[in-house]
Structure 1
Amino acid sequence: MFDFFEFCNEMLCVADNRGYFTRVNQAWTSTLGWSAEELTSRPYFEFVHPDDLAATIRESQMLRSGTYETVAFENRYRCRDGSYRWLSWRVKFAPGTKELVAAARDVTTDKLQAEALREAKERFAVLATQAPVGIFQSDRNAQCAFVNQHWTELTGLTSEESLGHGWMRAIHHEDLPRVMAKWQNCIENQLEYRDEYRLVQSSGGVRYVIAVARATADADGNLVTYIGTLLDITERKEAEERFQAYMNNSPAIAWAKDEAGRIVYINRTCENRFGIRLADWQGKTDFDIWPPEVAQPLWDNDRKVFAGGNPITVIEKKSNGDDEQSYWMNIKFLFRDRSNRQFIGGIGIDITEIKQTTNDLKSKQDLLRNLIEVQEQEKQFLCREFHDGLIQYVFGAVMLLESCLNKPNAPENMAKISSAISTLRRGIEDGRRVISGIRPDVLDDMGLEAAMQDLVGQFENSGIHITSRCDPEIGRLPNTLQTAVYRVAQEALNNAKKYSGTDVIRIKLTKDNGNLHLEVRDFGNGFDVEEARKRGFGLLGMNERVRLLDGEFLIQSDPDEGTCISVRLPIPKSSEAS
């Protein structure tokens, strides 16, 4: 009996009616730190926490009064180091004596755990009440066991209506099948649940929410419950929809790329402009989409933004397919997402027409400048021709005639007068030659077909064989139309003579469907058309003559392949009728 008392794990003791321990076992020392002598030398009430003393005395009095045979209570006992331990007591009188026998068990850990659990429950209750999110708990069958007040406000259901499978009534009917399928998959695999869906409130209003729930399992890994939250994202969703509507209805294209140059976003305007969808371009770089000569400048400008961090405005070229190019004024800028990742954003306006208009204006400025130069050259030419030709003939005739004034009837003067007449005739012919160079008489007198034949005749001694075919149905045409065709043909023949090295030229002039067609083809060296457009006033002048009459001017040429100039000019209705 002694050994059991001494070595029992519970704290066993005997106390007399004076309020002293008369005997304690070793568990007291190991639990509280006091020796047996210290414990038995003081009244046992001295070891009780002051806050628990009154209740402890009350329990002792009820036992001594015979109200109870055994009392059970808890109190805190002071340890030797000044701390306190919670003890759970069972006390009774020893049979046939006035001594108390008691067993005390250290429940400090249980008390602390219970207190922590109580505090946790209180914190959860406060959190569930005050949290600006819906909170819910469901079991392994997706049956709801708890919802907080905010959850009921979001769904429009009461707490009672939400329990079990009642919570499903709040989910939009279009989203419910997807939500349930995802819940089932998460439950079967104990996965975190995360989804966006719509709630339909009893008032008919729709709210967008994000639901997140995590599984809790028992010690054996079996699913016990899911605890989750419901976050109202209606304002964010509506803001996203407004932004998306704004971007999709913007007349400007918009896009975003990551640091590797991969496209992460394009707006609908961009999709429609290039005939694609976001999925077609997402994750691709400019080099995956455009030819290298187009992609490289785009990427170079992107890198400038990434390197400098400042927005830039640039004019960039893109391909529309079928070798057609478009020009864009693009604003590129840097931005970061919530994870501080860098992206480049862009907004672009199609300026192809503006670019073309600018180029046309520059061409017209070049043409005007060259026309002024040509006018000056023509003035110099006329001055030179009249000075060296016509004026010299007239001056010679005047000198001859003046020499006859003193002896008008002298026989030798007849020869001088005859010579003067011949000189004047040569002057007249020379003047006609100059005038014909400016505008051939045959064009006004006999029409376009005769003028074309006359033009071909001027090249008889050039070493070039020219064949000409004119449609006899052409008839009489307005002067502006005849002049344009004549000058284009004249310029084309002169260019072929000077630069092509050809010995054969073919000219064809036809009429059909209310249009006049001119074709001048040589079989010489050919040239780069784009380079020639930049340098050659002749091509620019021909093109402008045709454009002013609402016609079309086309030139085809390749090195060593010869050149073909084609012109289409609409014939005015009144001219066709005549």
Structure 2
Amino acid sequence: MEVRLRLATIVESSNDAILGVDVNGIVMDWNKGAEGLFGYSAGEAIGKHIAFLAAKNQQHDVQEILKQVMSGHVVKHFETVRQKKDGSRVDISLTVSPIFDAEGRIGGAAGVARDITERLKAEVALKTSEKRSKELVLHAPVAMVVTHGPSLEIELVNRKFVELFGYTVEDVPDVAHWWPLAYPDEAYQGKIKALWQARLDRALADHTEMEPMDAKVRCKNGSFRHIEFHFASLGDTDLVSFVDLTDRENAQTKLQESEERFRGIANAAPVLIWMSGPDRSCNYFNQPWLDFTGRTLEAELGNGWAEGVHSEDLNACLHTYSEAFDRRESFRMEYRLRRYDGQYRWILDIGVPRFNSDGTFVGYIGSCIDVTELKLAQEALSGIGRKLLEAQETERKWVARELHDDINQKIALLEVRLERWSQEVKESAEDIRDHIKHTCQELSSLAKDIQALSHRLHSSKLEYLGLVMAAKSFCKELSEHRDIRIQFSHSGVPRSISPEIWLCLFRVLQEALQNAVKHSGTRDFEVSLHGGGHEIRLMVTDTGSGFDLQDAMIHRGVGLISMQERLHLVNGKFSIDSQPGVGTTILARVPLARQQSKTFAA
């Protein structure tokens, strides 16, 4: 009795659904586990045929199970689906055994049903994960092999592996078949095996990833590839990946050969060549540079080269380099560099930015030439040009004085005499009087023209009253003479200006205004003369027809060239902004800080 009671307690407290049926399949027992699993209470289930838990398409399964059990067989772990009270379905594992009475006859059956829903979901998730992992391996961009078990049987080789080596899983069913195919040279094979095993043992002992190794592998077509191996172990399953280094190695070889060719060409070139990295530091100088400076490569690397730049040029040199570097732009600069004999030579340095094929900035490359002789020649030419302009100005001054003091005075005297004669002519000679009067008017006009020409050749106002008053007077005289409007403005122009500067700016003003009046087709002009920022700026503007600068330099560029040359002699700068149909602006800028030269630059 106690045994029965204990069994009943166990059955009732079990989490599994335990139920009993008679030989006809009618439910006779129904524990709480069954209530929880199927949702029916014992009162609802007892007395019903067990088939009430099965869907219509599973009725045959119920009858078949009953048939086997009633014939004395045990149905173990039969996985099926049953229907719950709420209409939902549940996956179960069913074990059913016959119940024998005291006489050994089958009096019914006992069944145990266990919910396997979560287990099946886990199995599906695992299969999905395995399938996904297999797909990832199959479609991975690098060659991969999956091995299994102690014999290292190859379960899977991906498409990239077949593409890279040509071997299929039929060619290499296990690792033992791989060694002689991949490494036909037995000595090399033994070396690779030993390296592989040593790294594998160390990784397993330290519970870390295996350190990658590389080797030359023979492919199925007989060619060899340079391969880097990576290994990962997941229990009794191993994953080996193969990274092809052949193309990278070939590219590195070609790059090295290209660099060697470049260095050979650079060392043979008759120019000084340097290179810098993205950190601004110089990392290469060719042999001609080293020969020129007489220093070692180690001494020049980084910023060491700057030690040879003249102290007066160093700041400007570094500033030009830094600004161009920040903007990734080409630059051009001149500075003095100390030669091996201690003499400083003028260097023209041209640098351009370097970029990789993918657009990555990798630094600068520059070439330098010694332009000392060229600068000396330019200075000599400038000296000749300065002397020619001095002679021209002296001649202009003499002609202007002759016109003003001699010829103009004679014309004035002749005009006075004619006036006197016209007064002495009798009234009957009216025609003669008119003729003399008309001649006097022509002489007066001629005298004005000669006076204007004299002022253009040499302005005494410029010499005695200064640049501003001379420029203002010239604008007024030209306005009256040519019947045009010139708006003149000035500010901040110092009175103490060296003669070469005020004469240069005055001549540029004369040339610019006369060209504008002659070619612009307009009657309105603006002239501004302003000082500030250690320089004087002269600007002549018109709103006329404009012109093509290149065409003007070819066909009527003498005046433009003359202005450029004059400004060059006083270290000035000259620019023209002109477009056909828009107008023209001429800008002349002369620094005041560089008046050391005492040469008269006209």
TM-score normalised over the length of structure 2: 0.46
